[in-house]
Amino acid sequence: MDIPQLIVEAIKFIFPAYVANATPVLSGGGTKMDFGRNFFDGKRLFGNNKTFRGFFFGWVVGLAVGLMEGVAFGFQNYPVLFSILIPLGALLGDLTGAFIKRRIGIRPGGLLPVVDQVDFVVGAIVFSLPLALVNWQLAVTVLLITPPIHLFTNFLAYKLKLKRNPW
């Protein structure tokens, strides 16, 4: 597979995760996923920015995008499982990143380079492994294209006043 085709395949594969990760910016708020509780180290589990509403809407919208991709691109084998697992993995990967950031003392919305750009795609890739859809070239391509895409879309959301920070 040549590089342009690999990039297209990577975007098609990871797009439901991108959507799931971005949706909470628009639909978040409400009850915090950690209920305001602290971990045994005395620090919040996830922080104020991780809410059940944001998680739920991120998953539902990511699932819808995955199903639409399945129809549009004729994904074989596991289109429903793909549509469920990719956005779920992305959101759980993002929660893992938030958990790590709280452990090392970075406040919600604070920057942790690399982790902030790839935590959600790592989660999506890990959750896709049982479906045997990812080879190493696709995974590496997703990891290489995501940081610039993520930084650009976050900067755009910041300029549109949807986010408080440009990262």
| Residue 61: φ, ψ to 5° | -70, -40
Answer yes or no: is pLDDT of 83 > 90: yes
Count CB neighbours of 33 within 10 A: 20
Q: 79 vs 127, which has greater pLDDT? A: 127
Q: State mean pLDDT over 68-95.
A: 90
Q: Are 51 and 24 contacting, i.e. CB atoms less than 8 angstroms apart?
A: yes
100: helix, strand or coil: helix
How much is the pLDDT for 76?
64
Give the integer Cα–Cα distance in Å for 37 and 52. 14
Per-residue pLDDT at 79: 87
Cβ atoms of 25 and 162 within 8 Å: the answer is yes
**pTM exceeds 0.75:** yes
Q: What is the pLDDT of residue 70?
A: 86
The single-letter DSSP state of residue 38 is: B
Domain ranges of the chain: 3-159
% of the chain surpassing 70 pLDDT = 99
At 10-61, the pLDDT tens digits run 999 999 999 999 999 999 789 999 999 999 999 999 999 999 999 999 999 9
pLDDT digits (tens, 9 = 90+) for 108-128: 889 999 999 999 999 999 999
**Distances in Å between the alpha carbon of 86 and those of 7, 25, 62, 141, 146?**
18, 18, 8, 16, 15
